[in-house]
Chain A
Amino acid sequence: MKEITEMLQQVAARLFNEGLEMFIGYESGSVPAKARPYFAAVQGETAALVFNPFCEHNLAKYLVRFPNAKTAVVVKGCDAGAVERLVKERNLDRTRITVIGVPCGGMLARERVLAELPQDGKITAITDRRDAFVFQTSKGEHVLEKKAFLLAKCLICTQNNPTGVDLMLGKEAPPVGETGKDPYARVKEISALDPPARAAFWDRLMDRCLRCYACREVCPACSCTECCFEQAVPGWQQGAIWLSKAVTLPDNLHYHVIRAFHVAGRCTGCGECERVCPVRIPLMLLNRKLAGDIDELYGPTPPDVPSVLCTYATGDRDEFT
């Protein structure tokens, strides 16, 4: 991953010479096998930029925080759609953004990687060898087969080379997802359960939701400046408050179902909601379920339409009249 990291640093340096004000990329994290979002605001800060298979974060939403600056952002295949969506919904001015695409060989599941690498070995280099990542550590070389170590979302990925970017770094990456895998397989399994079993499945998971709102805060489709769930109205004054602040199973379910419907047709499938959940609720199942339903009801979304549920045609199905 050394070349791509160097390319990123060079591109960032060049863009700052051309008047860039903020470069949004990744730097190494504070613990082994971790990366994190990084913001370079001046030329001198570009040396910390990296790209490696721990750069799992979707950086698109950070663009909204710099409405008046000339910004550049690093995107993987699964992140690019989020930039496009934010532009389509007029949250971003595309003309002041430089979108930098990186070919992605898949992101690794950190826990599994750490379990595999020697505990006191320091990672010195990572190389992408198509079917595996090769780790050089202070305790020797380790080959991690992608099939066994990639994040689940990467194993069904069909878009690991970003589109719609201004600048593409490096060579196109070969596909990482296993061909013939049905992205809806798990959704179908859950949908096939009889209603009490399906309710039990979700109740168990939603019961442990903390309502920390990490899923909402990270979601590039949750772009409202004020969420419908954060209206600070005391209970006894509530005209129409949507959600009690009490963390109970019905309120948790209510929150997640409403959020899923708000992002339906707009979710770009980056999976950030599921990644950030501290209690491991498989939130992408809800998003995928709705994506599948929308596909089935309306067919593929035409490219000039912001999203299926944000537009209408007089000939649309209307079951209510």
Chain B
Amino acid sequence: MDSKIIKKDKLLSLLERFIAGYHVLAPVREDGMLVYRPVGIPGDVELNPGRSVLPPKGRFFPQTEILYSYRIEGEKLTLEEYVEEARQVILFGVHPCDLRSFAVLDAVFTEEPRDAYFTARRNNTIIVGVSCSSVLPECFCTAFGISPVEGNGADIHLTDIGAGAYLVEVLTPRGKELLQKFDSLFEDNVAGAEEAKRAKEASLIKKISLSVKVNDLHEKMASIFENPYWEKISRRCLGCGVCTYVCPTCHCFDIMDDGAGKAGERFRCWDSCLFREYTLHTSGHNPRHALAQRLRNRFFHKLSYNNQRYNIEGCVGCGRCVALCPVNIDIREVIGAVRGLV
């Protein structure tokens, strides 16, 4: 589709108009961390954000989501479902790794039978991607064929091409429709913009320090299921849920009820395969009773099962689990070890 240029001051005006007409979620700084929050002031938004602590998946798959509530009055039972009503949300400032994660989540939630809750939120959201401007020591998106400057999965994609200008790529009809309303803010695509983007890509890719190869991983994973490696790496694992909760593609949830008697609600919330009770059976038996089994499951899900089941990699190389694991369990090292073991 077409591309344009927008100057930084005009980008702020565009954000202002977004805020006036839509519910806008964007990366902001909070206590030194980058988090996605509803924003009311364009100046609060980080235009070249970097890695947020939590991925933006919460927009489509909130940590806790009420599915329906029930109420009994006399003989009457009332059920109320909470599928999000049509509303226009703009999710602004999503990096390429997280854009890819939406495709991973789509594969899970929108295959038949579709998940109504996820699908409603997904359909209500216009996504504005943004190219990376820096590479952090834990980044390795290129291993999964992702470019830090490509907007696949976004409706509109921004790339800071220097000198206060952004390249705006309109990637979907929905993106086109949105920007048409604000046509006066853009300039025609100037010569050299595409070259500037390519130059940026080359310099970013050069900075990704660790080269991780995943091409032959699936066959290799299958042959090391029983390897003592998993027990060894699990010795330092705490068994907390940090890696799963900061992961843009982790999508396990539990369904629970709150309330009793005459009224209550059913909700779903994130769950983690690292938790002891995750696979605990009613009988008391736990097929993954050891931490080594639980940690192994997480890596198999990321590096093997997801691909087998949905034909898309379960990891996007965002590096969040590497950066936030309290004991430095590094999925890149695991990949290296797996490839070295067979």
Chain A residues with CB under 8 Å of chain B are 29-32, 34-39, 57, 62, 65, 208, 210-214, 216-218, 226, 230, 232, 234-236, 238, 244-248, 275-276, 278-280
What is the distance, in angstroms, from B72's C-beta to the closest C-beta of chain A?
Answer: 13
Smallest Cβ-Cβ distance to A45: which chain B residue: B232
A246 touches B328 (CB 8 A): no
Query: Hey, which chain B residues are within 8 Å of A30, CB to CB?
Result: 322, 328, 330, 332-333
User: Is A212's CB under 8 angstroms from B332's CB?
Assistant: no
**Inter-subunit contact A276/B257 (CB<8 Å):** no
* Beta-carbon contacts under 8 Å, B241-259 to A: 241-242, 244-246, 254, 256-259
Q: Mark B220-251, 1 if CB is under 8 A from A, else 0.
A: 00000000000010011011111011100000
Query: Which residues of A lie under 8 Å from residue B235 when comparing CB positions?
Result: 37, 39, 62, 65
| Residues A213 and B328 in contact, CB atoms below 8 Å apart | no
Which residues does chain B contribute within 8 Å of A230, judged by CB atoms?
275-277
Interchain residue pairs with CB less than 8 A apart (29): A29-B330, A30-B330, A32-B137, A34-B328, A35-B328, A37-B236, A39-B236, A57-B326, A62-B235, A208-B35, A212-B240, A212-B241, A212-B242, A212-B244, A213-B241, A214-B242, A214-B326, A217-B238, A218-B240, A234-B257, A235-B258, A245-B256, A246-B267, A247-B270, A275-B326, A276-B326, A278-B246, A278-B324, A279-B54
**Which one, A31, A214, A280, contacts B328 given CB within 8 A?**
A31
Assembled-state Cα–Cα distance A268/B258 (Å): 36
Q: Which residue of A lies closest to B243 (CB)?
A: A212
Known: A235-B260, A246-B267, A279-B33. 12 other contacts (CB 8 A): A39-B232, A57-B326, A212-B241, A212-B242, A212-B244, A214-B241, A216-B240, A245-B254, A247-B63, A247-B64, A247-B270, A280-B33
- Which residues of B are found within 8 Å of A35, using beta-carbon distances? 328
Check: B185 CB closer than 8 A to any chain A CB: no
Please report which residues of chain B, range 311-338, place their CB below 8 angstroms from some CB of chain A when the two chains form the complex: 322, 324, 326-328, 330, 332-333
CB <8 Å contact, B264 and A232: no
Say yes or no: A217 contacts B258, CB within 8 Å: no
B240 in contact with A213 (CB, 8 Å): yes
Residues of A within 8 A of B258 (CB): 235, 244, 246
B138 within 8 A of A: yes
Number of A-B contacts (CB under 8 A): 108
In whole angstroms, how far apart are the Cα atoms of A278 and B242 in the complex? 7
9 nearest CB pairs, A to B: A235-B257, A214-B240, A276-B326, A36-B328, A212-B241, A30-B330, A217-B238, A37-B236, A232-B277
Q: Tell me which residues across on chain B come within 8 A of A279, comparing CB atoms.
A: 33, 53-54
Contact between B242 and A276 (Cβ–Cβ < 8 Å)?
Answer: yes
Contact B260 A236 (CB under 8 A): yes
The chain B residues found within 8 Å of chain A, CB to CB, are 30-33, 35, 53-54, 63-64, 137-138, 232, 235-236, 238-242, 244-246, 254, 256-260, 264, 267, 269-270, 272, 275-277, 280, 322, 324, 326-328, 330, 332-333
Chain A residues near B327 (CB-CB < 8 A): 36-37, 57
A226 to B258 Cα, complex, angstroms: 22
- Please judge, given known A-B contacts A30-B322, A32-B137, whether A212 and B272 are in contact too, CB under 8 Å: yes
* Residues of chain B contacted by A29 (CB below 8 angstroms): 328, 330
Name the residue of chain A whose CB is nearest to the CB of B323.
A31
- A278–B269 alpha-carbon span in the complex (Å): 18
From known contacts A212-B240, A213-B241, A280-B33, infer whether A31 and B64 are also in contact, taking CB-CB under 8 Å. Answer: no
List chain A residues, Cβ under 8 A from B64. 246-248
Tell me whether B236 and A36 are in contact (CB under 8 A).
yes
Indicate if the CB atoms of B280 and A232 lie closer than 8 Å: yes
Please give the distance in Å from B149's CB to the nearest CB on chain A.
Answer: 20
Q: In the bound complex, what is the Cα–Cα distance between A235 and B255 (angstroms)?
A: 10
Least distance between B251 CB and chain A CB atoms (Å)? 15
Distance between Cα atoms of A211 and B275 in the complex (Å):
11
Cα of A245 to Cα of B322 in the assembled complex, Å: 26
Residue of A nearest to B259 (CB): A235
Q: Which residues of A contact B236 (CB under 8 A)?
A: 36-39, 62
Min C-beta distance of B54 to chain A, whole Å: 8
In the complex, what residue of chain A is closest to B210 when comparing beta carbons? A30
Give the distance to chain A from B28, nearest Cβ to Cβ, in Å: 13
* Chain A residues within an 8 Å CB radius of B232: 39
Q: How far is the CA of A38 from the CA of B233 in the complex (A)?
A: 9
Instruction: Please report the C-alpha to C-alpha distance between residue A246 and residue B33 in the assembled complex, in whole angstroms.
Output: 24
The CA of A248 and the CA of B270, in the complex, are separated in Å by 12
Task: For the complex formed, measure the closest distance between the CB of B340 and the CB atoms of chain A, giving whole angstroms.
Answer: 15
Nearest Cβ in chain B — how far from A81, in angstroms? 20
- Checking A37, A65, A247 against B269 with a beta-carbon cut-off of 8 angstroms, the contacting residue is A247
Q: With a CB–CB cut-off of 8 A, which chain B residues contact A37?
A: 235-236, 327
A238 and B260 contact, CB distance less than 8 A: yes
A280 CB contacts on chain B under 8 angstroms: 31-33
Q: In chain A, what residue has the closest Cβ to B244?
A: A212
Contact partners of A57 in chain B: CB under 8 A: 326-327
In the complex, A234 Cα to B258 Cα: how many Å? 9
In the complex, A320 Cα to B32 Cα: how many Å?
45
With a cutoff of 8 Å between Cβ atoms, the chain A residues found around residue B270 in the complex are 247
Nearest-Cβ distance from residue B259 to partner chain A, whole angstroms: 7
Q: Which residue of B lies closest to A227 (CB)?
A: B276
Distance (Å) between the CB of B13 and the closest chain A CB? 30
**What residues on A are CB-neighbors of B32 within 8 Å?**
280
| Chain B min CB distance to A80 (Å) | 20
**Is A244 a contact partner of B256 (Cβ separation < 8 A)?**
yes
A275 to B33, CA, bound (A): 15
Report B42 CB to chain A, min CB distance, Å.
23
A65 to B208, CA, bound (A): 37
Nearest-neighbour CB distance to chain A for B35, whole angstroms, equals: 7
Interfacial chain A residues near B324, Cβ < 8 Å: 278
| Inter-chain contacts of A234 with B (CB < 8 A) | 256-257
**A159 vs chain B, min Cβ distance (A):** 22
